[in-house]
Amino acid sequence: MPELPEVECFTRDLARWTAGRRLVGVELPDPRVLSGVSLADLEGLLGSAVGRCWRRAKWSVVELQPRGEEPARALLLHYRMTGKPVLEDGARGRKVRLRLRLARASEPELVVAFDDSRCLGEVHLEPVDELPAFFAARRLGPDCWPERHPGPWWTARLGATRRAVKVALLDQHRVAGVGNIGASEACFRARLDPRLPARDLDAAAWEALAEAVPAWVEATLAEELGAEIHFVTAGGSNPFLVYGREGEPCARCRGPIERFVQAHRSTFWCPACQGV
């Protein structure tokens, strides 16, 4: 499910759940979720204090400070399509791949679980001081949020390619954090035809995108920080302007929202008011 706003929410959940706690147990119902780490590696960290939790692109980072002289480590969580961290309060998650048991003073233990129905998600373990290299190896572009970037920055990142602007927005090497929902939402907010080759956009279009991307992030965050996360596929209302709204009236001009496929992924847009 997650794009940048969801991963931001997930990471804040992790920060809240783990604050001031130590890792006191690890369970691994499905070892496929571990990437380059073994259960024994994780067990070697038992007793560590949880430190900072932060987000980079669509990754959550949970820092762990072992007792003694060992260097700080970081758990890196990537949720891919269906992963999410859940707090298990008695009831057990349905597709839990990894469980972390966390203790604080005399309080009851908490169980934070990595739930992932499709099991495409990944959990890595890296020394904290090697995180820059970890992200560099993935050639991850700069985050699209929270730092604001001016129009010319977007031109420089995305403006050289012939690919359609909506497809270019999905390229994490150029700009990190925009997913398939966000790309449609940002094009709608910027009134941009998602089919336009990125290199054909003018300065005004890049300025519009520079506004539209953070506007999408912040609108989605405002929705999702509230009660529960809105999963498009799991009931609840659809919080998006065009995504998943084929056939519905455009919120701006009442024209019908349409769906088509770009790079094997659904694009939703309003042909009447985007890029006429």
Q: For binding to DNA (CB under 7 A), which residues are involved?
A: 1-3, 6, 32, 57-58, 78, 80-81, 95, 117-120, 138, 160-163, 167, 170, 172, 179-181, 231-234, 263-266
Q: How far is the CB of 30 from DNA (least distance, A)?
A: 8
Catalytic member of 2, 5, 85, 194? 2
Catalytic member of 3, 8, 185, 224? 3
Nearer to DNA, 1 or 62 (CB): 1
Catalytic member of 52, 138, 254, 265? 265
CB contact set of 117 (below 8 Å; sequence gap of 6+): 82, 94, 95
Nearer to DNA, 181 or 250 (CB): 181
User: ∠28-32-36 over CA atoms, to 5°?
Assistant: 95
Catalytic member of 22, 55, 58, 99? 58
Active-site annotation holds for 84:
no
Nearer to DNA, 9 or 205 (CB): 9
Nearer to DNA, 22 or 189 (CB): 189
Contact 181, 240 (CB under 8 A): yes
Give the active site residues. 2-3, 58, 265
